[in-house]
Chains A and B, each alone.
Chain A
């Protein structure tokens, strides 16, 4: 017997020191148990009844409780229940000391929170084994609890970080003009963490850019890519850059910062209310649909490009499709979320259903809401908890947008440069490679209150600049542009002359001074070209018909005055503006 005991007994160093509460009303039993447990190297607290056991537990919070079932005052069952309550989340193994044998009594012990029994007469080896087993169970529970707490802490931190990230994101990726009257969109509030992105910006020329992006992946990695995209989008759109310029810049940035395998499927629309046309680029995203309101027909604009952030700048293709639109025509953009929204059987909503819903809607104004309803009905979820994103852009008249874009005019009046002038001279090396219009537009947009007029100003600047460069410095003749053939020849010659250019310059003299509720902007563009006989030309109502575009007559309608000066190599435009246009 002695030998057996020694074999089972672990080395002293392996014994975990525990604090054990023994509650037994029987003095001799308690004495035996206490002696055995103490010899195992544990600290023992003793109690003579249930109430004492509870009191000691409260004071000492021991690791394991050995509890006699039948005790005076408060019995073992009740003490066990109270101790369980006091222990809360912590696991305190309670072992009942009992010579009860009937099933009901044993079940009562378990119901009261006991984990095991120890019957009398006590057996030292069994007691030892049980203490060991419950000590390790307790350790395991502590570990699990600690890990649970850590996980919950991590989770809290993650949620907090997402909230912060979302706030930062919302500040950068403000919705722009997404609430314009001709746009409808569906985007969940946390869409950024699904990798979905919708941006809309007014262009200085009066048009509108709309961008829908869908990043691969979820969570923060997807959201991170969205930030530079929106920053580039808004920054460049407001400065008058083209759809191609913006896409190229976004692609370049994403290619550089995103890891392989993370990219942005996207579609982008450049909508011109004046020309009633749209330029559309689609990369790696479901077909953009064009709805013709008159004929009630749908056209698909298929993705013909890789998503943004996949190929290097030199291989990136910005070829786009230009379509004519009538008032009431709609362009629909979406992420694959709608097409792939599944019902309980795993069946996708699919493009056929999209077409079905659109063509089955008699009043075009209801298309968007009908689509929304149909997808919800298909997935069986009425909450908008899916990550599908869609945008509908409607072609409207420029006058219909006027009110929306004009809103908040006065708020732009504070701060900023109001009274100034500048001269900006562009020499051959610059003329060859640099488009000064975004920079000058940007500078002018710093004038408080002027932004609502940026469309007109951009039109004026670009017309004057191209006249000065092409007809002045390069000495090209616009008569060439009168035929389709000549149009191509004109541009070939332009490229050729520009490449060879080694003298001449274009000078901008810009002057702004404020008046009550507005300002007067004077732009003089001067070139080193030969000039022309503007007296005759003016009678001729300018050489600006046909392929050469709107030209000076259009500018005339926008300004107080347009005057040629000198030998016809200077043109002066005086633009009056008021905040309440």
Chain B
């Protein structure tokens, strides 16, 4: 779990960095602060057991994390989105926990890549 390749598609990230040029740092900062809010929101959502909100926020996180090449984070978000869609919130806490851990790893790798 400690290899960056296990969390991010490094090749694609490199391309993204080239495309974004000077904007890459802004992108990374934006993504991290945006996603941090969403992760917190997800915690709150699970407490109030709002399946629809879970689906929407997880969907958004799934999309944005895929765009920064964080495929594992995107996968956890997808699992939460599915649970929200199926309105089966059991086991969601566990996945959110894994997602939190993954987010912190991804944030670290992205920040190091600046």
Contact = CB atoms under 8 A, between A and B. Distances in A.
List the 3 shortest-distance A-B pairs measured between CB atoms, nearest first.
Answer: A28-B31, A120-B63, A121-B66
B72 interface: no
A115 interface: no
Contacts of B35: 28
A489 B53 CA distance: 121
Interface string A472-496: 0000000000000000000000000
Contact of A32 (B11, B34, B67): B67
A70 B56 CA distance: 8
Interface string A93-104: 000000110000
A122 B59 contact: no
A31 B66 contact: no
A31 B16 CA distance: 12
B63 A32 contact: no
Contacts of B56: 70
Interface string B14-44: 0110111001001100110011000000000
A28 B23 contact: no
Contacts of B67: 28-29, 32, 120-122
B101 to A, nearest CB: 20
Contacts, number: 59
A213 B58 CA distance: 82
Interface string A1-32: 11000000000000000000000011111011
B33 to A, nearest CB: 8
A100 B59 CA distance: 8
B20 A27 contact: no
12 contacts: A26-B60, A27-B34, A28-B34, A28-B67, A28-B68, A29-B63, A31-B23, A35-B27, A99-B63, A100-B59, A120-B63, A121-B67
A120 B34 CA distance: 17
Interface string A286-297: 000000000000
Nearest to B35: A28
A42 to B, nearest CB: 15
A99 B62 contact: yes
A1 B64 CA distance: 23
A36 B15 contact: no
B19 A70 contact: no
Contacts of B34: 26-28
A248 to B, nearest CB: 87
B59 A27 contact: no
A329 to B, nearest CB: 93
A120 B66 contact: yes
A31 B30 contact: yes
Contacts of A70: 56, 59-60
B69 interface: yes
A124 B31 CA distance: 19
Interface string A385-425: 00000000000000000000000000000000000000000
B12 interface: yes
A462 to B, nearest CB: 103
A537 interface: no
A25 B30 CA distance: 13
Given A35-B20, A39-B19, A124-B19, A99 B66 contact: yes
A32 B19 CA distance: 9
Interface of A: 1-2, 25-29, 31-32, 35-36, 39, 70, 99-100, 120-122, 124
A121 B27 contact: no
A559 to B, nearest CB: 111
A544 to B, nearest CB: 116
A35 B26 CA distance: 11
A121 B69 contact: yes
A14 to B, nearest CB: 20
A100 B56 CA distance: 11
A210 B106 CA distance: 100
Contacts of A32: 16, 19-20, 27, 67-68
Given A70-B56, A99-B59, A28 B19 contact: no
A29 B19 contact: no
User: Which of A1, A2, A120, A121 is most buried by chain B, counting CB atoms within 10 A of its CB?
Assistant: A121
B59 A31 contact: no
Nearest to B77: A99
Nearest to B66: A121
Given A70-B56, A99-B59, A121-B69, A28 B20 contact: no
Given A29-B67, A35-B27, 12 more contacts: A2-B18, A26-B63, A27-B30, A27-B34, A31-B27, A32-B19, A32-B20, A32-B27, A32-B68, A39-B19, A121-B12, A121-B67
Contacts of B30: 27-28, 31
Contact of A1 (B15, B23, B26): B15
A121 B65 CA distance: 8
B15 A26 contact: no
A35 B23 contact: yes
Contact of A36 (B11, B12, B19, B60): B19
A35 B30 CA distance: 14
Contacts of A124: 15, 19
A39 B66 CA distance: 21
Contacts of B19: 32, 35-36, 39, 124
A31 B28 CA distance: 10
A27 B35 CA distance: 10
Contacts of A36: 19
A40 to B, nearest CB: 11
A27 B11 CA distance: 23
B12 A25 contact: no
B76 to A, nearest CB: 14
A234 to B, nearest CB: 83
A27 B106 CA distance: 18
A468 B113 CA distance: 126
B64 A28 contact: yes
A12 to B, nearest CB: 17
Contacts of A1: 11, 15
Contacts of B16: 32
Contacts of A39: 19
A32 B35 CA distance: 15
User: Which of B60, B66, B68 is most buried by chain A, counting CB atoms within 10 A of its CB?
Assistant: B60
Contact of B26 (A26, A31, A99, A121): A31
